[in-house]
Amino acid sequence: MKPIYKIVIILLFSAAIAGCKKSFLDRPSTSQISSDNFYQSPSDLRLATANLYGGAPWWQWQQPWLLFGDVLPGTALYSYYGDLMQLYSRTITGQNGIVSSGWTGLYNVIGQCNMVINAIQQQASASIPAVNKSQAIAEARFIRAVAYYHLVVYWGAVPIIEDNTKLVNNPLLNRNTVPDVYKFITLDLTYAAQNLPAADVAGRVTTWSAQGMLGKVYLTMSGWGQSGTRNQALLDSAKKYAGNVCKNSGLTLFPSYYDLFKTQNNDNPESLFALQWAPGVGYGYGNVLPVYYSPSATINAQKSGGWETLQITWDLYQMYTAKDSIRRKATIMLTGDYYPELDAADGGYTSTGICMKKHIIGNEKDNNSPTMTMWSSPEHNAMLRLADVYLVYAEAILGNNASTSDGDALLYFNKVRARAGVDPALMLNADTILRERRIELAFEGQYWIDLVRLSYYNPSKAINILNAQKRYTFTYDPKARVATPDTTATVTTLPATISAFTLPIPASEISTDPKLAQPAVPYY
């Protein structure tokens, strides 16, 4: 695994300092950090963990996060990028650059977390209170768990790496079994839940972040190795942790779905974990989603980029009812849509086509961010939101039942719908919840994960969902307010099978470490 080991070995000798430099993410230069002069105070620990939230460690993951979550399941396409179209058409090869970037990026994050954890354990001054050390380690273990969760969901059995230094003597690793990877994730998140505070500065994770993630992980685990029904004990754990966040955190949904994704609302209380991107940091350290996927350079920083938009499929568009206009407009641009907040100084922006709106935030003036560049959007991408946890809780309550009218399930499910301005549900079933999650969390890297979770215990249904999709684009007449599917422009896709739910390990990794092609082995 050459990319992994190149990254983590470098991390043995340098601290993870490059990246965002705003708010709590202000940090010293690399030259200021060494085993001799760092980890000497609680503030040093805060600086070390701040580097795990964004910038270089996460840079290679941000595009796979979006594309895996929404292109793999048929939500969007980008016909001029071959590697992306492999995701869409289910023709992915081991040479796919997006797959390689995602794999390497997540192990990069893990390597950074390992370095911080081990440095605190081995080098931190004895004068630092134990509670500060535990909290810093908990932050790193939470972020490591998030990285491993995405690895296991997308690739299945993967190597577990806790100590970067062991790779020097033994650079060839086996993959570890899926249940053991999930066990490792839950141990990290349990530690985080027990040692993170109930509140911290905006952007830092808390015990509610960890408990929300635990609820999601247990919900996913509950279907692994099952047939038709999910493991009730794991469903109960999902219900316990997600329910605790819903009922006892004191957190509420941000009032406006439309405004939720504006940069002035970064790190609002609904955001349980978000990648902390900063402006002015340069290529390789910043948020690049607008420069790649904006429909026009006129609404980008320095009026640059906007090379090709993410096209929307008819399958996603049909999810939105007429009443669901708030979420639709915040997520998808239709021809003729007017956005006064984009290029506001010039009178706003009227869409000339159909594309993704979420993550398209406007230029440096729109965001009061003079150092914003084409390579550094200041939007903080939420990896876990409270609305997600509300829906996890509802699904955990539904569990193995065909339907539910449970009061708690309906209460939190309908809080999500009420904010969107749509009618409350009177009864929930698996299809209702899956549909709601797709709409609420579109272009937030979630829908494919939801389908993988379904494939664990009901593979035929997950496969049928993919094969029944209307995977073609459409046009929209703003005067008549009529959308028309374009069935002549379909992209040929291979029929989905259960193997479609596991990405191939990059060929370069297998050539460097042939053990990756061998059957997975236990870690515990």
**Which backbone phi and psi does 257 adopt, to 5 degrees?**
-65, -40
pLDDT on residue 25 = 44
- The number of CA neighbours under 13 Å toward the Cβ of 488 is 2
Among residues 312, 346, 379, which one ends one of the domains? 379
Reading the block at residue 144, the tokens are 């490591």
Q: What is the pTM of this model?
A: 0.94
Is 140 found in the same domain as 20?
Answer: yes
Integer CA distances (angstroms), 172 to 146, 165, 166, 328, in order: 24, 13, 10, 47
Q: What is the pLDDT of residues 69-114, one digit of tens each?
A: 999 999 998 877 899 999 999 999 999 999 999 999 999 999 999 9
Integer CA distances (angstroms), 524 to 107, 169, 192, 270, 325, in order: 20, 21, 20, 36, 49
Reading the block at residue 293, the tokens are 């996927």
pLDDT on residue 29 = 44
How far is it, in rounded angstroms, from Cα 427 to Cα 430? Answer: 10
Q: DSSP class of residue 268? A: -
Closest CA to 65 of 40, 42, 99, 36: 99
- Please report which helix (H) or strand (E) contains residue 410, including its range: helix 407-420
How far is it, in rounded angstroms, from Cα 497 to Cα 67? Answer: 20
Among residues 320, 351, 379, which one ends one of the domains? 379
Closest CA to 419 of 396, 403, 436: 436
How many distinct structural domains can be found in the chain? Answer: 2
Bridge-partner residues for 356, per DSSP?
332
Residue 403 lies in a domain: no
Is 300 found in the same domain as 181?
Answer: no
pLDDT on residue 19 = 35
- Please report which helix (H) or strand (E) contains residue 248, including its range: helix 232-248
Reading the block at residue 439, the tokens are 């709409």
Residue 462 lies in a domain: no
Q: Are 131 and 40 in contact (CB under 8 A)?
A: no
Reduced to 3 states, what is the DSSP secondary structure of residue 334?
coil
Residue 365 structural domain: 289-379
pLDDT on residue 100 = 97
- Which residue type is seen at 218? Y
Parts of the chain with a pLDDT under 50 = 1, 3-23, 25-31
Is 165 found in the same domain as 298?
Answer: no
Residue 127 lies in a domain: yes
Residue 132 lies in a domain: yes
pLDDT on residue 101 = 96
- Which residue type is seen at 318? Q
Residue 457 lies in a domain: no
Residue 477 lies in a domain: no
pLDDT on residue 305 = 87
Is 168 found in the same domain as 24?
Answer: yes
Looking at residue 118, which CATH number applies to its domain? Answer: 1.25.40.390
Is 21 found in the same domain as 149?
Answer: yes
Closest CA to 179 of 217, 137, 210, 136: 217
Q: Are 474 and 483 in contact (CB under 8 A)?
A: yes
Residue whose tokens read 């896709």? 493
Is 142 found in the same domain as 14?
Answer: yes
Among residues 326, 350, 379, which one ends one of the domains? 379
pLDDT on residue 171 = 87
Residue 16 lies in a domain: yes
Residue 335 lies in a domain: yes
Long-range contacts of 435-439 (CB under 8 A, 24+ apart): 435/319, 436/391, 437/388, 437/391, 438/75, 438/316, 438/319, 439/319, 439/320, 439/324, 439/327, 439/331
How far is it, in rounded angstroms, from Cα 154 to Cα 449? Answer: 8
Is 155 found in the same domain as 13?
Answer: yes
